[in-house]
């Protein structure tokens, strides 16, 4: 397979709108990288630049050390799977999967072997004589993947492949992609705005916003040690709660609440004594306790967990807590929570404050 | 041409499970095309009143039936329907028979044009008509035979696959 290197890549459109700013990434052989971010953050543009469907304005794209910045898409040896499948409706599944190889005038017997092998991997053997319209969305997406597999490309590119599927099918197809990656050990770039897909699929995640890379790291790194407020708010469901607090004498003083710092946290915030910072608390890091009094506005039971929405006292400061087990808070009732884990962010730069920095 | 290995032969047969029999269908289309050439050639002949009779009417109706039957058969053989080879064989034989109906009779007939006795069909037109019908017939017969061979091979292959699975 292949190693991919994106070096200082910019995308500037003809109308001078810049979609991607100084994108740097080294993708190792066999790695599955997920580009995640909200709509318009430049993740699909980046993928299309890698595929060769968009020109790279500045920077270099290297595949196995070879500069392919100016190489046409057809010569890049990459296969792309699109959100809308892009299957030929008048062709059978077999013909769809064989199409790219037929265009290359490969030996029909070789094509046949490759198509059958791909169909076997994807569980499509019994569907090969059908037309795309006869298949479900998940099966169609598998056909689109199969069409990529038969080409045996160096890099697989996925552009939001699961967005057209319903929630149940999305989960199943996601697991199939993961199995496929493990089986093929292929280098893959995967674009999504769905953080669940990103967290479950990725070896490493690239989190993007407004054309800038916000953080590159493993799913755990992004979840556990977000670089800034954007990453902290984007990764995690429900999103992280943010509060303006003041660091004062081993305590955090917020609007309507106080939180005591541990010794380690005191060291981390030593340079911020007397200053305002942003406190981040993941909903699942709230526990039933006594530090914060919350007036409950909504109680949603999810089975194993309960989402409790409320505001701190009468301040209007919102709280979303995800508590373990089945809870039955009434609207207007006062609930008491403690914070099990805190994240700190500089109020001006929005960057994370970490003890090791 | 290099000889195929047994494995290649098996793969080729297996491919038939997923690939349409387009060679046979295309031969049918070729036959239709030459049939069109034939009747355009025949009907554009301007020889006075000779052709305006029941025979021409019947030939027009036959042409329509022929084209419909061959087209339907082409779709069937595309999907490896062995029985439709019979339709193609009949249509192919009928193209040969047609050579002896209008072209042959018109070629041997004389008519008066401006008080001069003239051949209804010139030698050149007659040859063209015969060639068109012959090509059309050959394409249909070849398509039928090829379809029978391919269908038989496919049937045998599917049977062997089923016996392997069992």
**Could you read off the pLDDT of A318-349 as tens digits, one per residue?**
999 999 999 999 999 999 999 999 999 999 99
Contact residues on chain A for B15, CB-CB shorter than 8 A = 108-109, 112
User: DSSP letter string over B25-71?
Assistant: HHHHHHHHHHHHHHHHHHHT---TTTT-SHHHHHHHHHHHHHHHHHH
Contact B95, B137 (CB under 8 A): yes
A183 to chain B, any CB pair closer than 8 A? The answer is no
CATH for the stretch A4-234: 3.40.50.300
Q: Quick one: pLDDT at residue A338? A: 92
Q: How far apart (Å, rounded) are the C-alpha atoms in residues A20 and A5? A: 16
Q: How far apart (Å, rounded) are the C-alpha atoms in residues A157 and A188? A: 6
Let me know if residue B17 belongs to a domain: no
Picking from B6, B9, B17, B19 by the largest number of A CB atoms within 10 A of its own CB, the best residue to mutate is B19
Closest to B38 in 3D by CA, of B68, B65, B63:
B63
What lies within 8 Å, CB to CB, of B165 at 6+ separation is: none
Nearest residue in chain B measured CA to CA from A127: B18
Let me know if residue B39 belongs to a domain: yes
| Least CB–CB distance from A129: residue in B8, B11, B18 | B18
* Mean pLDDT across chain B: 89
Looking up tokens 């080294």 gives A26
Q: Quick one: pLDDT at residue B83? A: 96
Q: How far apart (Å, rounded) are the C-alpha atoms in residues A6 and A22? A: 9
Grouping H, G, I as helix, E, B as strand and the rest as coil, residue B144 is helix
Nearest residue in chain B measured CA to CA from A126: B18
Element holding A196 (H helix, E strand) = helix A195-201
pLDDT band of residue B46 (cuts 50, 70, 90) is low
Contact residues on chain B for A92, CB-CB shorter than 8 A = 18
Chain-chain contact of A112 with B8 (C-beta, under 8 angstroms): no
- Percent pLDDT > 90 in chain A is 79
| Strand partners for A63 | A4, A66
Q: Report the DSSP pairing between strands B116-119 and B110-113.
A: antiparallel
| Least CB–CB distance from A92: residue in B8, B15, B18 | B18
Per-residue pLDDT reduced to its tens digit, A99-117: 999 998 999 999 999 999 9
Q: How far apart (Å, rounded) are the C-alpha atoms in residues B45 and A258? A: 105
Per-residue pLDDT reduced to its tens digit, B80-98: 999 999 999 999 999 999 9
Choose between B156 and A357: higher pLDDT: B156
Counted domains in chain B = 1
A242 to chain B, any CB pair closer than 8 A? The answer is no
A90 to chain B, any CB pair closer than 8 A? The answer is no
Interval B3-16 mean pLDDT: 86
Q: Quick one: pLDDT at residue A18? A: 95
Let me know if residue B131 belongs to a domain: yes
Picking from B15, B16, B17, B165 by the largest number of A CB atoms within 10 A of its own CB, the best residue to mutate is B15
**pLDDT surpassing 80 at residue B2:** no
pLDDT band of residue B42 (cuts 50, 70, 90) is confident
Chain-chain contact of A113 with B11 (C-beta, under 8 angstroms): yes
A102 to chain B, any CB pair closer than 8 A? The answer is no
pLDDT band of residue B51 (cuts 50, 70, 90) is low
Interval A19-35 mean pLDDT: 96
Let me know if residue B12 belongs to a domain: no
Per-residue pLDDT reduced to its tens digit, A222-231: 999 999 999 9
Of A257-261, B70-74, B133-137, B142-146, which range is least confident?
A257-261
**pLDDT surpassing 90 at residue A123:** no
In the structure encoding, which two tokens stand for residue B126, read together? Answer: 């007659």
For chain A, first and last CA: distance in Å?
A: 37
Catalogue the long-range contacts made by A46-50 (C-beta closer than 8 Å, 24 or more residues apart).
A46/A6, A46/A9, A46/A11, A46/A20, A46/A191, A46/A208, A47/A80, A47/A157, A47/A159, A47/A189, A47/A191, A48/A159, A49/A9, A49/A11, A49/A20, A50/A4, A50/A6, A50/A78, A50/A155, A50/A157, A50/A189
Q: Quick one: pLDDT at residue B52? A: 58
| Least CB–CB distance from A109: residue in B11, B17, B18 | B11
B9 to chain A, any CB pair closer than 8 A? The answer is no
Closest to A190 in 3D by CA, of A50, A55, A8, A314:
A50
A240 DSSP 8-state letter: P
B15 to chain A, any CB pair closer than 8 A? The answer is yes
Per-residue pLDDT reduced to its tens digit, A58-96: 999 999 999 999 999 989 999 999 988 889 999 999 999
Contact A213, A23 (CB under 8 A): yes
CB-based burial of residue B117 (10 Å sphere; 0-12 exposed, 13-18 middle, 19+ buried)? exposed
User: DSSP letter string over A99-159?
Assistant: HHHHHTT--HHHHHHHHHHHHHHHT-GGGTTS-GGGS-HHHHHHHHHHHHHHH--SEEEEE
pLDDT band of residue A183 (cuts 50, 70, 90) is confident
Interface size, chain A vs chain B, as Cβ–Cβ contacts under 8 Å: 22
Contact A19, A13 (CB under 8 A): yes
What lies within 8 Å, CB to CB, of A55 at 6+ separation is: A49
Q: Quick one: pLDDT at residue A356? A: 60
Let me know if residue B8 belongs to a domain: no
| Least CB–CB distance from B11: residue in A95, A112, A129 | A112
Nearest residue in chain B measured CA to CA from A93: B18
Q: Quick one: pLDDT at residue B48? A: 55
Chain-chain contact of B18 with A94 (C-beta, under 8 angstroms): yes
| Least CB–CB distance from A109: residue in B12, B17, B18 | B12
Contact residues on chain A for B14, CB-CB shorter than 8 A = 112, 116
A113 to chain B, any CB pair closer than 8 A? The answer is yes
Choose between B7 and B138: higher pLDDT: B138
pLDDT band of residue A152 (cuts 50, 70, 90) is confident
In the structure encoding, which two tokens stand for residue A261, read together? Answer: 């710092």
What lies within 8 Å, CB to CB, of B1 at 6+ separation is: none
Phi, psi of A332 (to 5 degrees): 95, -15
Q: What domain range includes position B62?
A: 22-165
What lies within 8 Å, CB to CB, of B116 at 6+ separation is: none
Helices and strands, counts by H and E, chain B: 6, 2
**pLDDT surpassing 60 at residue B47:** no
Contact residues on chain A for B11, CB-CB shorter than 8 A = 109, 112-113
**pLDDT surpassing 80 at residue A310:** yes
**pLDDT surpassing 90 at residue A166:** no
Q: Quick one: pLDDT at residue A1? A: 57
How many angstroms separate the CA of residue A5 from the nearest CA in chain B? 40
Contact residues on chain B for A112, CB-CB shorter than 8 A = 11, 14-15, 18
**pLDDT surpassing 80 at residue A357:** no
For the whole model, what pTM was predicted? 0.80
Closest to A20 in 3D by CA, of A3, A35, A1, A32:
A35
Boundaries of every domain in chain A: 4-234, 241-346
Per-residue pLDDT reduced to its tens digit, B101-136: 888 888 888 877 777 887 888 889 899 999 999 999
Let me know if residue B73 belongs to a domain: yes
């Amino acid at each position: 397979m292949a190693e991919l290197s994106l070096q200082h890549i910019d995308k500037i459109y003809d109308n001078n709108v810049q979609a991607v700013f100084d994108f740097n990434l080294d993708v190792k052989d066999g790695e599955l990288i997920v580009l995640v971010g909200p709509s318009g953050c430049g993740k699909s543009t980046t993928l299309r630049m890698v595929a060769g469907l968009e020109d790279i304005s500045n920077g270099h794209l290297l595949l196995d050390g070879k500069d392919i910045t100016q190489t046409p898409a057809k010569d890049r040896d990459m296969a792309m799977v699109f959100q809308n499948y892009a299957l030929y409706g008048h062709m059978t599944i077999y013909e769809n999967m064989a199409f790219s190889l037929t265009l290359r005038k490969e030996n029909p017997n070789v094509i046949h072997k490759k198509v059958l092998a791909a169909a076997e991997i994807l569980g499509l053997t019994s569907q090969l004589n059908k037309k795309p319209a006869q298949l479900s969305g998940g099966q169609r997406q598998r056909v689109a993947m199969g069409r990529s597999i038969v080409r045996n490309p160096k890099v697989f590119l996925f552009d939001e492949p699961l967005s057209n599927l319903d929630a149940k099918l999305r989960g199943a197809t996601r697991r199939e992609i993961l199995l496929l990656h493990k089986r093929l050990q292929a280098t893959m770039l995967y674009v999504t705005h769905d953080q669940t897909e990103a967290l479950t699929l990725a070896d490493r995640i690239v989190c993007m916003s407004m054309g800038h890379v916000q953080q590159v790291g493993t799913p755990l790194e992004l979840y556990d040690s977000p670089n800034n407020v954007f990453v902290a708010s984007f990764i995690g469901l429900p999103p992280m709660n943010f509060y303006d607090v003041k660091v004062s004498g081993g305590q955090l003083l917020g609007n309507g609440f106080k939180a005591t710092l541990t010794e380690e946290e005191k060291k981390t915030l030593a340079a911020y004594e007397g200053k305002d910072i942003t406190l981040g608390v993941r909903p699942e890091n709230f526990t039933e306790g006594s530090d914060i009094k919350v007036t409950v506005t909504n109680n949603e039971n999810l089975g194993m967990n309960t989402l409790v929405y409320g505001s701190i006292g009468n301040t209007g400061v919102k709280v979303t807590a995800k508590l373990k087990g089945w809870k039955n808070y009434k609207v207007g009732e006062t609930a008491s929570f403690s914070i099990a884990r805190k994240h700190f962010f500089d109020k001006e730069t929005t960057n994370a404050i970490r003890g090791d920095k | 041409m290099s000889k195929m290995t047994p494995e290649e032969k098996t793969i080729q047969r297996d491919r038939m499970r997923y690939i349409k029999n387009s060679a046979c269908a295309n031969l049918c289309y070729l036959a239709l095309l030459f049939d069109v050439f034939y009747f355009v050639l025949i009907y554009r002949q301007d020889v006075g009143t000779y052709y305006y009779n029941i025979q021409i009417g019947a030939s027009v109706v036959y042409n329509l039936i022929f084209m419909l039957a061959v087209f339907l058969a082409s779709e069937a053989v595309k999907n490896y329907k062995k029985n439709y080879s019979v339709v193609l064989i009949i249509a192919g034989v009928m193209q040969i028979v047609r050579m002896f109906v209008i072209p042959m009779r018109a070629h041997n007939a004389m008519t008066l044009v401006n008080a001069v006795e003239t051949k209804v069909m010139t030698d050149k037109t007659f040859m063209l008509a015969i060639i068109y019908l012959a090509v059309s017939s050959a394409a249909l017969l070849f398509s039928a035979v090829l379809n029978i061979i391919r269908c038989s091979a496919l049937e045998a292959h599917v049977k062997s696959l089923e016996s392997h699975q069992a």
